[in-house]
Amino acid sequence: MSSKARKAGLGIAAAALAFSGAVYGVASQASADVTVQLNASQLVADMGAGWNLGNTLEANNNGVPSETAWGNPVVTQAQIDRVAASGFRTIRIPVGYLNHIGAGPNYTVNAAWLTRIQEVVNYAHSKGLYVLINMHSDGYKSVTGAWLICDAADQTTIKDKYQKVWQQIATKFASYNDKLIFESMNENFDGQYGNPTQPCYSNINAYNQIFVDTVRRTGGNNAARWLLVPGWNTNIDHTVGSGFVIPTDANRSSSIPAGEQRLMISVHYYDPWDFAGQEDGNITQWGASATNSAKKSTWGQEDFLDGQMKKMYDKFVTRGYPFFVGEYGSIDKTTYDSANNTYRAAYARAVVAAAKKYGGATAYWDNGWNGQHGFGLFDRSANSVTQQSIINAIISAVGGTTPTTPTTPPTTPPTTRPTTPPTTAPTTPPTTPPTTSPGGTGTCRVTNAVNAWNSGLTNSITITNTGTAAINGWSLAFTLASGQTITAGWNASYSPATGTVTATNASYNGSLAPGGSATIGYQANHTGNSAAPTGFRLNGTACS
């Protein structure tokens, strides 16, 4: 995601099953593993509504993946049954490997971890659901143990390791039918939320090609399986742009009709970020039905959404490649605006409907957290629904019927705030940003919202122009606490990464009218001191 606070926040006793000492059995694989050979349009229609088992198998503790590391409970068949009973037909299962991968030259994946992944896949597979598994957290610089880094120096070693890990995964699942889809990676990029850079994008393209070739050569049903590949950071604009190269598929099964593809294109959608993921009460409404223009973003509404999905259609679907919006959604802001869930449902319905219109399938991002700033649709401990209106919107948008809601009410969400790190940062800015010119000063107010975990943190900074004149072009200087280093940022450029930092406006948020505000943010590592920065100065003027 873009710096979406992907946090779980469930204090679960099952955390005692942290992977290091757990032994897992394997649920039986569905018996009717026959490949049906659906074409692109048939596949998208058959996948229906999708859902993410987020913050679970990609969660980790100091680089060791464990499904309970970020507070979610151990996955059970009953959890997946509840999701399926709610009308979802596709489950995306993000997976991390990290320090469960052994040393070279073999890079052997821990056998018990692969078995646990298989068991969770089987929970969904046995229900006849589509299942997507990927390599999720291995490509983030901010994650301990990450190694799939596109701008790292030793690409030869990285590519060798990547090939050998995917060979093991693909071999493990070679007999599964075409309702299992592999996704090469998640939001891979260089950690800077600007335009793509080289050779980083070329390396991402190379990873995708290695992935396709490796999976195909393992044989079995993998030779004809649908495979999912992303462009730069799963960003739509950077994927339809000139940098992304669709992998060749020379090793695919000869049983696939010559005029058909078996590759899908992966993107994510969280626009506008100030509605979908920004953790404050400024923007709580979305779409044509919004009743308060001050609570509605100035961009990223229905027309923008339609245009983004049309770009995917024009670039890929017309050539036989369907697309998959593997993550979308919006956080719970009902503590700021009691009507927020109405707009969250409208947003979900619109994303799913627009993707369907242009030949794409979707999967809602659920991080397991119910409560303020959570993405959760289910209480995973009680196996109950918490956001029926959003589920109804999703299912109706794909043309389905929501099953009858169970009479058992959901339990009260826990009040403990999540402590886990986000794994990405904001998506694309408006395609037609307002023009700004440099200059202008004024009095200002700055607020911080720091969310810290073991050795990392995010900080959302809101800058408000409290003066009487507009500010056209701004730089915000501040001093980080000792031991903090910025690893990624959004809505501004940051330099240097430590000490006294200057954040400079992006092209689309440089104008601050009197009373206007802009929210920026960053992710940072820390060595024990997670305090907010101090000494804020906007264009040289101290802020309150």
Catalytic status, residue 327:
yes
> What one-character-per-residue DSSP string does 512-536 give?
E-TT-EEEEEEEEE-SS--PPPEEE
Return the DSSP state at 21. Answer: G
Please count the other Cβ atoms lying within 10 Å of the Cβ belonging to residue 223: 19
CA distance 530 to 527: 8
Identify the three-state secondary structure at position 302: helix
Q: What tokens appear for 361 in the block?
A: 């399938």
CA distance 400 to 92: 19
Instruction: Note if the bond before 496 is cis, omega within 30 degrees.
Output: yes
Q: Residue 453, CB half-sphere, CA atoms under 13 Å: how many?
A: 25
> What one-character-per-residue DSSP string does 255-279 give?
TS-TT---EEEEEEE--SHHHHT-S
Cβ atoms 476, 531 nearer than 8 A: no
CA distance 353 to 376: 21
Which residues are CB-contacts of 130 (< 8 A; sequence separation ≥ 6)? 46, 47, 50, 89, 90, 91, 179, 180, 181
Largest interatomic CA distance in the chain: 70
Angular region, 210: left φ>0, alpha ψ -120 to 50, beta rest: alpha
Going across the sheet that includes 50-52, the strands are 50-52, 90-93, 130-134, 180-183, 227-230, 263-269, 323-328, 360-362
Return the DSSP state at 222. Answer: G
- Residue 287's nearest CA partner among 278, 297, 279, 273 is 297
Which residues are CB-contacts of 348 (< 8 A; sequence separation ≥ 6)? 328, 329, 330, 364, 390, 393, 394, 397
- SS in 3 state form for 431-463? CCCCCCCCCCCCCEEEEEEEEECCCEEEEEEEE
Burial class (CB in 10 A: 0-12, 13-18, 19+), 152: middle
Burial class (CB in 10 A: 0-12, 13-18, 19+), 443: middle
Catalytic status, residue 119:
no
- Residue 477's nearest CA partner among 487, 456, 488, 492 is 492
Cβ atoms 57, 367 nearer than 8 A: no
CA distance 520 to 508: 12
**Given 58, 183, 187, 279, which residue is catalytic?**
187
Which residues are designated catalytic? 187, 327
